[in-house]
Amino acid sequence: MADHYNFDAPVDRSGTYSMKWDKYKGKDIIPLWVADMDFLSPPAVRDALIKRINHGVFGYTLPPQELNEIIISLMENEYGWNIEKEWIVWLPGLVTGLNLVCRAVGKENDYVMTAIPVYPPFLTGPGNSGRNLIKVPLIKIGDSWKFDFQHIEKSINSGTRLFLLCNPHNPVGRVYERDELSSLADICNKHKIVISSDEIHCGLLLEPGKRHIPIASLSPETADRTITLMAPSKTFNLPGLGCSFAVISNADLRKSFNAAMNGIVPRVNTLGYIAAIAAYRDSHDWHAELLDYLRINRDLVLSAVNMMPGLSSQPIEATYLAWIDTRQSGIEDPVKFFEDAGVGLFEGREFGTPGFVRLNFGCRRSLLKKALERMATAIKKHAGDIF
Ligand SMILES: Cc1ncc(COP(=O)(O)O)c(C=O)c1O
């Protein structure tokens, strides 16, 4: 396919109140921490937004019927998953969704389980709702992070009501296989545990042979106990527009979820809906080229990091995030170490596992290379100093 989109083009994000860039405002630190990409959104999205902005009236907006239909077709075509319009609940963000699930399932002092390391709101959501958190570490088998099913089963107690699944998994980049999801679903079915499946990264599969499987698509029984959370925000780089959705086929669960939202959770904003329509419907070429670009960035990160003394990272099947183990390096505070070297990474402790850092490679390649060079220089100097 011809390259139509220039992901190499520098985009100056200063003056846009960017969370990612303003953290290091005025400092020579390349920000590779929070999960948004430095790329322009697809042209179809920008055109649709401009058209809508030029209309000039920004009143309360209903969920567009057209968007529901786009999502229903997308789920069927991409994943063979048949959903109904009534199952879709629109949300202004997926962190909102995660917290809502914790409130909607069970009662105070119940237990919520998740597999660590994981996206920080999975660790704070249960406590925000007066629930207890059970953390079960993923285990490294070969160079792949896997669920520890024995540990999961052993850790379930009579108050465990909810499992927070992240698939594809931020930060380890796994795309879980059917047999892994089935084993997890079997355990949850056996113990009557509701599954919250955050699938926000499902459009960012980098391994050509891999397919995303929504866990709710495994069986009617699993669908019945699953709340799926999705959004166009990661794939099409729209996180500032706050438009996401839950798919809940079980009417009772949906009722509890809606009750937890009532009067508190705002509507999705007008521009979020407009962007979502153009992203899902009109941005396929951009999406395909993005994945090609990210795949090369990923390969660059993995080969560079795995050459750095004391650092390692495993294959990344999805997301634009690399999970880097620094424990063999002897560096006490890896985030500070790399900030001092001019690269801003995300602290592993916040994902439940100190000794790791997360690197966001959703940026132009020249910037990524510069960051990797800075990291390599600093780590080689450090290794030279200690050995
Ligand atoms: C797994 C996961 N869920 C949710 C979010 C954030 O969702 P939102 O910005 O819609 O709240 C992220 C952002 O990085 C994420 O990685």
- Decide if pLDDT at 1 tops 70: no
- By three-state DSSP, how is residue 164 classified? strand
Residue 194: which region, alpha, beta or left (left: phi > 0; alpha: psi -120 to 50)?
beta
What pLDDT digit, counting tens, does each position of 72-109 carry? 999 999 999 999 999 999 999 999 999 999 999 999 99
Q: What is the pLDDT of residue 384?
A: 80
Distance from C-alpha of 271 to C-alpha of 243, rounded to nearest angstrom: 9
Is 0.85 topped by the overall pTM?
yes
What pLDDT digit, counting tens, does each position of 253-293 carry? 999 999 999 999 999 999 999 999 999 999 999 999 999 99
| Residue 279 neighbours by CB under 8 Å, 6+ apart | 41, 42, 44, 45, 232, 235, 236, 238
Q: Atom of ligand 1 at shortest distance to CA of 97?
A: 11
- Decide if pLDDT at 32 tops 70: yes
- Decide if pLDDT at 174 tops 70: yes
Please tell me the distance between residue 95's alpha carbon and the centre of ligand 1 in angstroms: 6
Contact 268, 274 (CB under 8 A): no
Q: What is the pLDDT of residue 386?
A: 65
Distance from C-alpha of 215 to C-alpha of 257, rounded to nearest angstrom: 19
Please tell me the distance between residue 277's alpha carbon and the centre of ligand 1 in angstroms: 19
Q: Nearest to residue 308, comparing CAs of 373, 370, 387?
A: 373
Please tell me the distance between residue 61's alpha carbon and the centre of ligand 1 in angstroms: 23
Q: Nearest to residue 319, comparing CAs of 114, 115, 169?
A: 169
Percent of the chain whose predicted confidence (pLDDT) is above 70: 99
List all residues whose CB is within 6 A of at least one atom of ligand 1.
35, 93-95, 119, 166, 170, 198, 200, 231, 233, 239, 244
pLDDT grade, residue 3 (50/70/90)? low
Question: Where would I find the beta strands (DSSP E) of 61-120?
Answer: 88-91, 111-116
Distance from C-alpha of 122 to C-alpha of 189, rounded to nearest angstrom: 21
Q: Nearest to residue 223, comparing CAs of 97, 70, 81, 77?
A: 81
Peptide bond into 117 cis (omega under 30): yes
Nearest CA to ligand 1 atom 14: 35
C-alpha 142: how far from its chain's center?
24
